[in-house]
Amino acid sequence: MVTTSEARVEAQFEELTDKKPIGAEVREFMRKQPLGTFGAAIVFVMVFAAIFADIIAPHDPVNNSYEHILQPYSAEYLLGTDQFGRDILSRIIYGARTALFVGFTAATIGAITGLVLGVASAYFGGRFDLIFQRIMDIFMAFPLIIMALAVVAIFGTGIQNVIIAITIPFIPRCARVVRSSALAIREIPYIDAARANGFSNSRIILRHMVPNVMAPFLIMITAFVGQAILLEASLSYLGLGVQEPTPAWGLMLQGGAEEYAESAPWVAIWPGVAVSLAVFGFNLFGDAVRDTLDPKLRSQ
């Protein structure tokens, strides 16, 4: 039997989650956020290239062709070849798959973990919150790249370890942002009503608090993906990330950024453009998502 207080909690939750049709939401987003739409288009092109890389890539990205080493732009190799005769365009297309896999996985795991920990810290408060926040302060004292380098030094290289290295620094940053929103939600009367009805702490956190901090959570994910792509490229450039022959933009920069800067600049230019566009697209899209979901900015 559903009590009056529980029914009120459920009704308020349904009111908060009531949405317009998806098509109307998309049209309104495109009209109000042209830069965000441009960023979303870049993200869509990346996702499309990653999914259909086997179809749209003109060459095998790991096939060495020593007859075509450092070949400039041509009809066969639109963006030229690298120092091993591999097609740069094909490696960039397949590199989108590596970048998005690492970016989305690290950002999602880090944000979800930070979401749960941040809400739990705000909900329980007291000594638990104090100790937890001091631990988060220790992690946040290190810049993202320094923390990632430290984790890679411990666990080693490879895609899985790179994901771990990028995920760990994201957790305290998401937890801190989510906690600030959850602190205000904890004081709303329907949380007190849920406690009075004997709901368990896990039910209150997961069913009544987490859904109401989804706006900052989604904003953090979009921001984290761009940062994760940049971190993965940085680690690969330093030789601590993805290893050969896996196509990765940072790895392509490592092989051609310095040695061939004058004789074959295309080896470094196009991977750099790919990284810049990816981060730029996710940043634009993330800013637009923030403006859309933030009620203060939405009302302007």
Band the pLDDT of 54: cuts 50, 70, 90.
very high
In a domain, 243, yes or no: yes
The per-residue pLDDT for 94 is 94
The percent of residues above 70 in pLDDT, for the chain, comes to 88
Q: Are 293 and 177 in contact (CB under 8 A)?
A: no
pLDDT tens-digit readout, 190-238: 777 877 777 787 888 878 788 888 877 888 888 889 999 999 998 888 8
Q: Which has the closest alpha carbon to 16: 215, 274, 222, 224?
A: 215
Is pLDDT above 70 for 139?
yes
In a domain, 3, yes or no: no
Is pLDDT above 70 for 4?
no
Band the pLDDT of 16: cuts 50, 70, 90.
very low
Count of beta carbons in the 10 Å neighbourhood of residue 188: 14
In a domain, 166, yes or no: yes
Single pTM value for the model: 0.82
In a domain, 95, yes or no: yes
The per-residue pLDDT for 294 is 63
The per-residue pLDDT for 10 is 53
Q: Are 170 and 106 in contact (CB under 8 A)?
A: yes
The percent of residues above 90 in pLDDT, for the chain, comes to 22
In a domain, 122, yes or no: yes
Among 20-24, 89-93, 295-299, which is the least confidently predicted range?
295-299
How far apart, in Å, are the Cα atoms of 242 and each of 93, 98, 278?
Answer: 16, 9, 18
The per-residue pLDDT for 299 is 47
In a domain, 12, yes or no: no
Is pLDDT above 90 for 274?
yes
In a domain, 257, yes or no: yes
Number of domains forming the structure of the chain? 1
Mean pLDDT to the nearest integer, 175-189: 84
Is pLDDT above 70 for 296?
no
Mean pLDDT to the nearest integer, 149-163: 85
In a domain, 174, yes or no: yes
> What CATH number is given to the structural domain containing 111?
1.10.3720.10
Mean pLDDT to the nearest integer, 114-136: 88
Tokens 């949405």 correspond to: 19
The residue segments making up the domain with residue 249 are 28-69+76-298
The per-residue pLDDT for 20 is 61
